[in-house]
């Protein structure tokens, strides 16, 4: 009985670790209240954390379709953008309560994925990637002319503005995305997706409905990106609506997922932490601002060439190397 | 159980099958023989709904399945073990087997079927946590057949099960095919270049050449046929 409990804990160690980590992150701002440097630095730290959570959510949600189901979507920013623009417009212009506007934002992104996915997922591989990129760009230009100018928070919202609730919302969206990925990867649906990623023809021959599986992954991934967009609309007090549709959101998500390890739970999280921290550090130095683009381009190429499993794979490789060494010593 | 009726299939402008008809009776083992490029794989793909014939029909258990999608054909009980095995190399042996029981028909019986598959292939039980990509060729073929059995198929189609395997393993695989047919009551269509081995287990065989059936008969008649011997058995 006890040993069984222990074994299941060892096999499922990820879940308690994730729950503990999420709990710790929710309590983190509270924890630092009262520290001497609290009022000077906390806003910078919270802003950095919100940026990290946003990119981590985009990467994890992108990973659902790319890492598990094997389809590269280059239009992910469109769903982030749809989530933010719908949330922002309903909340600020149409006076919806924020929570409602937020879920409509996610829903609108999911609906868009359903409409786009039905024809686009008939395309495969590179054609699907190009198709989604083209659609996202077309949408970006349309939104740019529909909502020109800057969207600002109105007076009352601006006066009540504080970062902790923004921090909490973007963390909630990230936690939801990670837990959805966790349960998906161990479900029948997730197993079917992995089979499609491995060998689509073989997946078809064992009776997997390839189209429905990839469409489901696409819609789910878009819904979560839409929620991230909603959280962004809540967080930013003034920005151009076109900004959230920028292809940089897609490529950041793609980059950090490949650096961290595609098709894994931890990969997008590790990759985005690495990315955001290094970028923040470089931005703080006067002469290296924006060099992160070059640096991460190089890292991306190196990881793909040398470590195709991403940074996550590094730990397994090190432990394997270590085991081999110790075995030699004992022989 | 399976009936192909006058199939004409083309890849674009190039016609590959010219009126292929064959029939597999329930609980039998039937062989489809032919050399490279004869149209064997195309015949199978058409039967499974992966390719559409320009003319002709496919019947499974009396039902017309010509226009059905592959996943619905598979869940109705016709299962293909592809020539390239189609095992998922980064997934574990156990995950591969579980994927076999993907249809809602096979799912509830999963644990029971898994036990039976492990009795037929004890090696898969030992290797269940291993990645399928680390298996040898013969083990991978066993995994592919094991995965097919997980689907509780009424009929199995095996595409070149002997391809790339050592002779000893080939006869082992064919013994299993016979065992599956007798003990699990699974109808089998085996597609082979290894004519000797195929005729040993099959009761009836068809010979495919350049996209048409050029000969058929019981295994005994084919084995004693002078022409067949010269063309395919190298005697």
Q: Determine contact: B103 vs chain A, CB below 8 A.
A: yes
Residues whose CB falls within 8 Å of the CB of residue A72, separated by 6 or more in sequence, listed in order:
A66, A125, A126, A128, A129, A254
pLDDT at A8 over 90: no
Of A188, A191, A199, the CB nearest to B86: A199
In a domain, A287, yes or no: no
Torsion of the alpha carbons at B87, B90, B92 and B98, rounded to the nearest 10: -50
Q: Extract the tokens encoding B106.
A: 């096979």
Given a contact cutoff of 8 angstroms between Cβ atoms, the answer to whether A166 and A6 are in contact is no
Mean pLDDT across A29-40? 67
- How many domains does chain A divide into? 1
Return the residue in B65, B102, B110 with the most chain A beta carbons within 10 A, the one to mutate for interface testing.
Answer: B102
Residues 149-208 of chain B whose Cβ lies under 8 A from any Cβ of chain A = 151
Least confident of A21-25, A47-51, A223-227: A21-25
Q: What are A286-319's pLDDT values in tens digits? A: 777 778 888 888 988 998 898 888 888 887 788 7
Is there a contact between A208 and B99 if contact means CB atoms under 8 Å apart? Answer: yes
Query: Which of B160, B218, B150, B161 is closest to B184 using CA atoms?
Result: B150
Between A56-65, A246-255, B148-157, B212-221, the lowest mean confidence (pLDDT) is in: B212-221
Query: Inter-chain contact B88–A202, Cβ cutoff 8 Å?
Result: yes
Q: Could you tell me which CATH number the domain at B2-77+154-233 has?
A: 3.40.50.300
Q: Does A326 map to a domain?
A: no
Chain B residues with CB under 8 Å of A313 CB are none
Least confident of A168-177, B62-71, B162-171: B162-171
Q: Which of A82-86, B39-43, B164-168, B197-201 has the highest mean pLDDT?
A: A82-86
Average pLDDT estimate for A226-238: 94
Q: What is the CA radius of gyration of chain A?
A: 21
**What would the pLDDT profile of A111-145 be if each residue is shown by its tens digit?**
999 999 999 998 888 899 999 999 999 999 999 99
State whether A205 and B74 contact (CB < 8 Å).
yes
Best of A205, A210, A214, A262 to disrupt the B interface (most B CBs within 10 Å) is A205
pLDDT (tens digit per residue) in B15-45: 999 999 999 999 999 999 888 888 888 999 9
Instruction: Kindly list the residues from chain B whose CB atom is less than 8 angstroms away from the CB atom of residue A203.
Output: 99
Instruction: State whether residue B191 is helix, strand or coil.
Output: strand
Statement: residue A330 has pLDDT above 70: no
Q: Is the model's pLDDT at A227 over the cut of 60?
A: yes
Mean pLDDT score, B174-180: 91
- The continuous run of DSSP H or E covering B167 comes out as helix B167-183
How far apart, in Å, are the Cα atoms of A263 and each of A91, A109, A181, A276, B168? 35, 23, 10, 20, 38
Average pLDDT rounded to a whole number, residues B138-149: 91
Residue A252: pLDDT band (50, 70, 90) is: very high
Half-sphere exposure of B144 (CA within 13 A, CB side): 31
Q: Tokens 């920028």 map to which residue?
A: A246
Alpha-carbon distances of B219 from A188, B30, B206, B208, rounded to whole Å: 43, 9, 10, 15
ipTM: 0.79
Name the minimum distance, in Å, from the CA of B33 to any CA of chain A.
Answer: 21
Q: Given an 8 Å threshold on Cβ–Cβ distance, is B86 in contact with A201?
A: yes
Interface test with B, best of A69, A206, A263 (most B CBs within 10 A): A206
pLDDT (tens digit per residue) in B183-211: 888 999 999 888 888 888 999 999 998 88
Contacts of B20 (CB under 8 A, 6+ apart): B4, B6, B7, B39, B43, B56, B208, B211, B212, B213
Q: For residue A4, is pLDDT > 80?
A: no
Residue A229 belongs to what domain range?
Answer: 41-245
Q: Which of A192, A194, A201 sits opposite B102 (nearest CB)?
A: A192
Residue with tokens 């010979």: B207
pLDDT tens-digit readout, A153-175: 888 888 888 888 999 999 999 99
A116 belongs to a structural domain? yes
Above 80 in pLDDT, residue A323?
Answer: no
**Stretch A180-208: mean pLDDT:** 91
Residue in A with minimal Cα distance to B157: A205
Nearest to B102 among A194, A199, A207 (CB): A207
pTM above 0.80, yes or no: yes
Question: Is the pLDDT score of A95 beyond 60?
Answer: yes
DSSP 8-state assignment for residue B132: G
Distances in Å between the Cα of B14 and the Cα atoms of A51, A181, B53, B212 are: 56, 45, 13, 14
| Range A198-224 burial, b when 16+ CB lie within 10 A, else e | bbbebbbbbbbbbbebbbbbbbbbbbb
Q: Are B166 and B115 in contact (CB under 8 A)?
A: no
Looking at the domain assignment, is residue A126 inside a domain? Answer: yes
C-beta atoms of A207 and B89 within 8 A: no
Closest of B40, B22, B42 to residue B30, by C-alpha? B22
| Least Cα separation, residue B53 to chain A (angstroms) | 18
Write down the mean pLDDT value for chain A: 89
SS3 content of chain B, % helix, strand, coil (to 5): 40, 25, 30
The segment with the largest mean pLDDT, out of A36-45, A56-65, B133-142, B173-182, is: A56-65
3-state per-residue secondary structure call for chain A: CHHHHHHHHHHCCHHHHHHHHHHHHHHHHHHHCCCCCHHHHHHHHHHHHHHHHHHHHHHHHHHHHHHHCCCCCCCHHHHHHHHHHHHHHHHHHCCCCHHHHHHHHHHHHHHHHHHHHHHHCCCCHHHHHHHHHHHHHHHHHHHHHHCCCEEECCHHHHHCCCHHHHHHHHHHHHHHHHHHHHHHHCCHHHHHHHHHHHCHHHHHHCCCCHHHHHHHHHHHHHHHHHHHHHHHHHHCCEEEHHHHHCHHHHHHHHHHHHHHCCCCCHHHHHHHHHHHHHHHHHHHCCCCCCCHHHHHHHHHHHHHHHCCCCHHHHHHHHHHHHHHHHHHHHC
Residue A319 lies in a domain: no
Q: Evaluate whether residue A103 is within a structural domain.
A: yes
How many Cα atoms are found within 13 Å in the side-chain-facing hemisphere of A192? Answer: 22
Chain B residues in contact with A201 by the CB 8 A cut-off are 50, 82, 86
Local confidence band at A329 (pLDDT 50, 70, 90 cut-offs): low
For B72-84, the pLDDT digits (tens) are 898 889 998 887 7
Q: Which of A42-46, A131-135, B53-57 has the lowest mean pLDDT?
A: A42-46
pLDDT the model gives residue B31: 92
Q: Does A207 contact B95 at a Cβ distance shorter than 8 Å? A: no
> Contact at 8 Å (CB) between A121 and A71?
yes
Q: Express each pLDDT in B113-126 by its tens digit.
A: 999 999 989 999 99
Question: CA B99, B100, B102: angle at the middle one, nearest 5?
Answer: 65
Using the Cβ of B48 and the Cβ atoms of chain A, whether some distance falls under 8 Å is answered with yes
B79 CB neighbours in chain A (<8 A) are 206-207
Pairing status of strand B55-60 against strand B2-11: antiparallel
Q: Which residues of B5-44 are buried (b: 16+ CB within 10 A; e: fewer)?
A: bebbbbeeeeebbbebebebeeebbbbbbbeeebbbbbbb
B86: number of Cβ within 10 Å: 24
Which residues of chain B have a CB within 8 Å of the CB of A205? Answer: 48, 50, 70, 74, 80, 82, 86
B137 band by pLDDT with thresholds 50, 70 and 90:
confident
Q: Tokens 């190397």, residue?
A: A321
Decide if B46 touches A, using CB distance below 8 A.
no
Contacts of B91 in chain A (CB under 8 A): 191, 194-195, 198
Residue A93 has pLDDT above 80, yes or no: yes
pLDDT at B233: 61
Which of chain A's residues have a Cβ under 8 Å away from the Cβ of B93? none
Residue A327 confidence (pLDDT) above 60 = yes
Torsion of CA A92, A96, A101, A104, to 10 degrees: -130
- CB contact B95 to A (< 8 Å): yes
A150, A85, A144: which is closest to A112 by C-alpha? A85
Of A192, A199, A207, the CB nearest to B74: A207
Q: Do B91 and A204 touch (CB under 8 A)?
A: no
Tell me the C-alpha distance between B88 and B100, whole Å.
11
Q: How confident is the model at residue A36 (pLDDT cuts 50, 70, 90)?
A: low
Residue A18 is assigned to a structural domain of this protein: no
Cβ pair A207:B71 closer than 8 A: yes
User: Is A289 part of any domain?
Assistant: no
Each residue's pLDDT tens digit, B204-232: 999 998 888 988 888 888 888 777 777 76
Rg (CA), chain B: 17
- Domain ranges in chain B? 2-77+154-233, 93-152
Using pLDDT thresholds of 50, 70 and 90, give the confidence band for residue A82: very high
The mean predicted confidence, pLDDT, of chain B is 88
Q: Is B91 in contact with A195 (Cβ distance < 8 A)?
A: yes
């Amino acid at each position: 009985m006890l040993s069984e409990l222990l074994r299941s804990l060892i096999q499922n160690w990820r879940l308690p670790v994730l729950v503990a980590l999420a709990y710790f992150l929710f309590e983190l701002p509270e924890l630092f209240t009262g520290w001497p440097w609290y009022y000077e630095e906390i806003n910078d730290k919270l802003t950095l954390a919100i940026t990290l959570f946003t990119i981590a959510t985009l990467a994890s949600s992108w990973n659902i379709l790319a890492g598990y189901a094997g389809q590269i979507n280059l239009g992910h920013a469109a769903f982030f953008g749809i989530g933010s623009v719908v949330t922002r417009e309903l909340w600020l212009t149409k006076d919806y309560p924020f929570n409602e506007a937020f879920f409509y934002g996610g829903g609108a992104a999911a609906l868009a994925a359903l409409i786009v996915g039905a024809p686009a997922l008939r395309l495969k591989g590179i054609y699907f990637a190009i198709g989604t990129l083209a659609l996202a760009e077309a949408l970006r230009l349309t939104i740019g002319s529909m909502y020109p100018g800057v969207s600002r928070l109105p007076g009352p919202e601006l006066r009540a503005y504080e970062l902790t609730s923004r921090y909490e919302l973007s963390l909630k969206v990230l936690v939801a995305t990670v837990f959805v990925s966790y349960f998906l990867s161990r479900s029948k649906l997730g197993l079917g997706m992995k089979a499609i990623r491995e060998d689509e023809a073989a997946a078809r021959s064992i009776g997997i409905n390839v189209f429905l599986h990839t469409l489901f992954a696409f819609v789910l991934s878009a819904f979560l990106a839409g929620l991230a967009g909603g959280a962004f609309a809540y967080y930013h007090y003034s920005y151009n609506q076109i900004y959230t549709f920028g292809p940089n959101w897609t490529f950041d998500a793609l980059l950090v997922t490949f650096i961290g390890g595609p098709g894994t739970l931890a990969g997008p999280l590790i990759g985005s932490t690495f990315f955001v921290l290094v970028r923040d550090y470089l931005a703080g130095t006067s002469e290296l601002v924006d060099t992160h683009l070059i640096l991460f381009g190089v890292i991306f190429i190196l990881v793909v060439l040398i470590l195709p499993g991403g940074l996550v794979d590094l730990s397994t490789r090190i432990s394997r190397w270590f085991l081999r060494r110790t075995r030699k010593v004992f022989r | 159980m399976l009936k192909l009726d006058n199939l004409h299939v083309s890849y674009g402008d190039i016609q590959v099958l010219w009126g292929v008809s064959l029939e597999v009776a329930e609980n039998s083992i039937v062989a489809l023989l032919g050399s490279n490029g004869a149209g064997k794989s195309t015949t199978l793909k058409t039967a499974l709904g992966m390719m559409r014939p320009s003319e002709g029909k496919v019947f499974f258990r009396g039902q017309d399945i010509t226009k059905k999608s592959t996943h619905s054909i598979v869940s109705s009980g016709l299962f293909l073990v592809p020539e390239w095995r189609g095992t998922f190399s980064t997934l574990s042996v156990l995950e591969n087997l579980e994927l076999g029981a993907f249809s809602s028909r096979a799912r509830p019986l999963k644990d029971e079927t898994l036990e039976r598959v492990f009795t037929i292939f004890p090696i898969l039980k030992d290797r269940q946590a291993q990645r399928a990509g680390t298996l040898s060729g013969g083990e991978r073929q066993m995994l592919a057949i094991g995965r097919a059995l997980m689907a509780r198929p009424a009929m199995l189609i095996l595409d070149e099960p002997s391809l790339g395997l050592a002779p000893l393993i080939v006869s082992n695989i064919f013994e299993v095919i016979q065992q599956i047919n007798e003990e699990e009551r699974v109808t089998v269509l085996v597609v082979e270049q290894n004519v000797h081995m195929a005729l040993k287990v099959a009761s009836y065989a068809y010979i495919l050449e350049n996209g048409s059936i050029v000969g058929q008969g019981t295994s005994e008649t084919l084995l004693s046929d002078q022409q067949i011997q010269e063309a395919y058995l190298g005697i």
